[in-house]
Amino acid sequence: MDRALDDADRAFEDFDRDLIRRLVLEILDNLSEGPNLRYHPLGFLKDVFAFDGDRRLQLHVWHPKHSRPQLPQHTCHSHGWQLHSYIICGGLVDRYYEVTQDPKGDHLVYAVGYEAGQNHSHNAAEVSLSRALETATYSVTETKAVHRIAGTFYSIAPDAFHWTDPVGITSTLSYGHLANAAPARNARLRDQPAELAYQRAPVPAEYVEEIAAAIRGDLRE
């Protein structure tokens, strides 16, 4: 998989759409070889194709028929690492938010961790931040909405809070370096549970073939 990661380095540095296309076709061919495509709490489907402990290359698919978002959904999230993406098909609207500590705010900030096929969200103060934030509340304000179309490269900063709304069936190829990543975070309303768990189960094989065929069809157009 080092070769795929080296290719991803070049593709995103040089904005090389032909190399991106070759990587996507390789990932699609690999999807049916095992339980690679999994449900994600943010509502998309995710396949981590290559990861060497730092560099990670993954496929994201938003499909209205096959989405299983975690409920209750949160308003926005940050990644903790620089996310580089290319829109393979469809389109999306990235909504950006200002998350500000506010004694009158109606949100709490949670830290997110991943382990053994599960996604766990904890109030950030209970896990890794100072005790003073245990009851800290935040206000969340949308600052802008960015519309993106197929064939577009884009990046999202590690500390940027955002939410992605897909436009129809949408797929992206995403890449980044995680060795020095900060914990991912999300903002949730105060009345939501203090801890949530989400099982990132594999997508059934018959759906994987349907999804891969749809993306291949867009690549051929």
Domain boundaries of the chain, sorted by first residue: 2-220
Would you say 108 and 102 are in contact if contact means Cβ atoms under 8 Å apart? no
pTM of model > 0.85: yes
Which one is the CATH code of 2-220: 1.10.10.10, 1.20.120.400, 2.60.120.10, 3.40.50.10860?
2.60.120.10
- Residue 111 belongs to what H/E stretch? strand 107-115
Would you say 166 and 90 are in contact if contact means Cβ atoms under 8 Å apart? yes
List the pLDDT tens digit at each of the 221 positions of the chain: 689 999 999 999 999 999 999 999 999 998 877 678 989 889 999 999 999 999 999 999 999 999 998 888 887 999 999 999 999 999 999 999 999 999 999 988 888 876 654 455 544 322 222 222 356 899 999 999 999 999 999 999 999 999 999 999 999 999 999 988 888 888 888 888 877 778 888 899 889 999 999 898 877 65
Q: CA 27 to CA 57: how far, in whole Å?
A: 10
